[in-house]
Structure 1
Amino acid sequence: MTRLVTTAGPASHRFDALTAEHMRAGGSWKWSTPGEWHGPDGRHGLIGAFVAEMDYPVAEAVADAVRACAEGSRFGYLPDAWVADMAAACAAFWGERFGWAPDPARVRPVPDVLTAFTATVRHFSRPGSAIVLPTPAYMPFLTVPGMIDRELVQTPMPWVGGRFVLDLDAIDRAFAAGAGLLVLTNPHNPTGRVFSDAELAEVTEVVERHGARVFADEIHAPLTFGGARHRPYAATSDAAAAHTVTATSASKAWNTPGLKCGQVILSNEADAAHWAATGYLAEHGTATPGVLATTAAYREGGAWLDEVLAYLEGNRALLAGTDLPGLDVIVPDGTYLAWLDARGLGLGEPPSAFFAREAGVVMTDGAACGEAGRGGVRLNLAMARPVLAEALDRLRAALRA
């Protein structure tokens, strides 16, 4: 395969040297899945821009923790002391970054956010009640409820002022019809929204009106840009704290999804007690190396995270400055996921299929994110800037053909 050629200029950051060939050789799903592509001008190799993971090498503190696991044979069942240390590191990081330090005793390990979600549905929502999901949404949130015998109610997010917003009236109607749990993803995947305090307060009013619950997916919390700042939903009011189960992980911000360690944060005494009685199975699959690596990320990975955020700012600027005729582009305020609205192109086929065939860029099709996402695609920006420049060049060429 040929090395990607770009007009982005000489490498100025260590991440710039990460070629597509290097990523394919690494064997990740994001890069090994797409396969071959032969473009109209002879370019080779699909660019993987669909899976929500970063291409950047992990923080040295995380790598050291994983090496220490191997060297110390730390692959046994997870001891309570390591869980407590991870919980303390997580709480301290959240306090420093977001101004809300949860009680470490209420921070519990899970393998991932989806495990936290299924446990929350089963143990913290009314038996048999429907799940309310604003869409477009993270794809598994559309399919997992049916796997655990729950109805899903999609509440499409209106497009207002060039961005998606929550449809509070639709959420209210869903609760009035008997739904019991709202999935609130903030920062939002796939649209990149970071919801304001005012929006979160409006959510609380609706939830409280119906005695419902909230599953707060805050896995992208550390990944915000510009003037956007993440506000933990459970920290916005006593009412929100009383009806929320929060899930997060270091996996997005520190690029460790394969280490299988997330956190559930319980924000009231009753929920903490209920989790203590019901959460064993959800916790049991958490990986010991993941807990130790997560502890290192929260405690020692701040400088690496800040470097990544600065690099992603540059990638956001590159996207914002690229002319993609016919597309409405949402540059994310949070996450590293951009939304490209292709409805104006009149393609007659899913836009992801068009761009994979004509541009060799593999993105998540919006229809997989719910009916409200149909006609759009999700583009992962967390790649080397020269590779992103090549991807955007290809998209632009396909649009102009």
Structure 2
Amino acid sequence: MVTPVRALPLAQLRERSSEKWREYPDDVLPLFVAETDFPLAPAVTEALERAVRDGDTGYVASRTPLAAAYAGFAQRRFGWTVDPARIRSTADVSMGIVEILRRVIEPGERVIVNPPIYPPFFDLIEEAGGIVQRVPLRDTGESWELDLEGIERALADGARAVLLCNPHNPTGSVPSAQSLDAVARLAEQHGAAVISDEIHAPLTQPGVPFTPFLASGDAAQRIGYVVTSASKAFNLAGLKCALMISASDETTAVLRSLPIEVEWRTGQFGMLAAVAAFTPESDDWLDGLLVTLDENRRLLGALLATHLPEARYRMPDAGYLAWMDLTGLGWGPNPSKQILRQARVALHFGPAFGAEGAGHVRLNFGTSPEILTEAVERIARARATISAARG
């Protein structure tokens, strides 16, 4: 039987020194940045405690168990066979994206993204010398899908790379294997590369098919890269460890061409924690976390239906981020400002995710039911107060 993972008490969370708990005053409920409120997986805690006790705080080694640990995790969780020899590590997913982009595009070439999209994607492409090419997701009314026709037009017009988010942030949607394979074949046809950010993959809900990009077909293996990490599922972002994965001799040669400094930026604690997260000892904890996130995504839907029926919310299939359309509240293109000011709840700004984010917010439900309930009730009270003031 799976034991749900429960969030820490609010008073204990406020003792944390991370961005989530230091950006705003204590009267604000912080549900903006992608940090969770759960205790660490026991195996991760043990690995870090052992390292501190032993003074194991030096440089990360050139040979570590990280690649083998991830290969085992990918096989167990996704049915994906990964060759550990085709994995390199770095500090975080963003750094991995930039370093690969620098190898697969020339300065001034365009890179496709699918907004609304994780805001740093825009900056990462510019950092790598590229130009953002927007091909928005298609909203079918029931789900979000990759716009394959739009991607094909952009590639035919000269875009040299596609930067995917699989599963997608902020919508929590999970592209089908067929759509990923189609993207790969289009990219190969036009001589482009595909980089797939799969940091939220371990948080795909049971019953929802998740396909790693490199497992979607032969074309993906020839032209694709996966960049991933334990940091979102296991809340390890501050420890700095991510993986860059290839599946062909050509793409592996690209990863091996990266300066050794790219790999040495991997954090020693990050590597140790990731190994512990990816081993079978942490599987039960991750299963329990998924149960809790399932409860919370459903609770959020019920709270919105009761207190904020104007909100449009589609339950995500992966992750702990909710993409909410609050246009019906009449709070302008960036309702998070009004919510912060009037309700003292911090949400991520919708417009930061692209023009498609106007009127939207992103809410992190990786917290306790009590905090989630209080946040929605605060927003509802603010709406009532504002409506009364308007007469």
The more displaced of 169-178 and 58-67 is 169-178
> How far did residue 87 of structure 1 move?
0.5
Q: Which residue of 1 aligns with 2:327?
A: 343
Q: Is the 8 A contact 1:156 1:371 kept in 2?
A: no
> How far did residue 177 of structure 1 move?
2.0
Residue 78 in 1 paired to residue 60 in 2? yes
1:110-149 equivalences in 2 (<5 Å): 110-149=90-129
Identity of aligned residues (%): 38
Which of the numbers 283, 296, 319 marks the counterpart of 1:302?
283
> How far did residue 279 of structure 1 move?
4.2
Which of the numbers 330, 334, 339 marks the counterpart of 1:355?
339
In structure 2, distance between residues paired with 1:363 and 1:67: 33
> How far did residue 256 of structure 1 move?
0.7
Give 1:23's aligned amino acid. L
In structure 2, distance between residues paired with 1:147 and 1:234: 25
Give 1:302's aligned amino acid. D
The more displaced of 346-355 and 110-119 is 346-355
The Cα offsets for residues 266-305 of structure 1, whole Å up to 9 and x where unpaired, read as 1111221232122423212101111111111101211111
The more displaced of 337-346 and 379-388 is 337-346
TM-score by length of 1: 0.90
Residue 327 in 1 paired to residue 311 in 2? yes
Q: Which residue of 2 aligns with 1:256?
A: 236
Instruction: Kindly tell me the number of residue pairs found equivalent between the two proteins.
Output: 379
Residue 105 in 1 paired to residue 85 in 2? yes
Which of the numbers 6, 24, 28 marks the counterpart of 1:15?
6
Secondary structure of the residue aligned to 2:284 is: helix
Q: Is the 8 A contact 2:178 2:216 kept in 1?
A: no
- Going from structure 1 to structure 2, the CA distance change for 1:363 and 1:14 (only over 3 Å counts) comes to same
Q: Is the 8 A contact 2:173 2:318 kept in 1?
A: yes
Q: Is the 8 A contact 1:130 1:150 kept in 2?
A: yes
The Cα offsets for residues 199-219 of structure 1, whole Å up to 9 and x where unpaired, read as 223322322331211110000
Secondary structure of the residue aligned to 2:243 is: strand
The Cα offsets for residues 12-50 of structure 1, whole Å up to 9 and x where unpaired, read as 97725x3333212212211221215xxxxxxxx111001
In structure 2, distance between residues paired with 1:184 and 1:134: 7
Q: Is the 8 A contact 2:4 2:289 kept in 1?
A: no
- Going from structure 1 to structure 2, the CA distance change for 1:349 and 1:135 (only over 3 Å counts) comes to closer
Secondary structure of the residue aligned to 1:15 is: coil
Alpha-carbon RMSD: 1.7
Secondary structure of the residue aligned to 1:92 is: helix
> How far did residue 104 of structure 1 move?
0.6
Q: Which residue of 2 aligns with 1:33?
A: 23
In structure 2, distance between residues paired with 1:284 and 1:166: 35
Q: 5+ residue gaps in structure 2?
A: 386-391
- Going from structure 1 to structure 2, the CA distance change for 1:398 and 1:330 (only over 3 Å counts) comes to farther
The more displaced of 102-111 and 26-35 is 26-35
In structure 2, distance between residues paired with 1:127 and 1:235: 29
> How far did residue 126 of structure 1 move?
4.4
Q: 5+ residue gaps in structure 1?
A: 1-11, 37-44
In structure 1, distance between residues paired with 2:75 and 2:369: 32
TM-score by length of 2: 0.93
Q: Which residue of 1 aligns with 2:177?
A: 197
In structure 2, distance between residues paired with 1:375 and 1:241: 38
The Cα offsets for residues 142-169 of structure 1, whole Å up to 9 and x where unpaired, read as 1222233221111122322233322222
Give 1:50's aligned amino acid. F
Secondary structure of the residue aligned to 1:318 is: helix
Give 1:77's aligned amino acid. Y
In structure 2, distance between residues paired with 1:114 and 1:339: 21
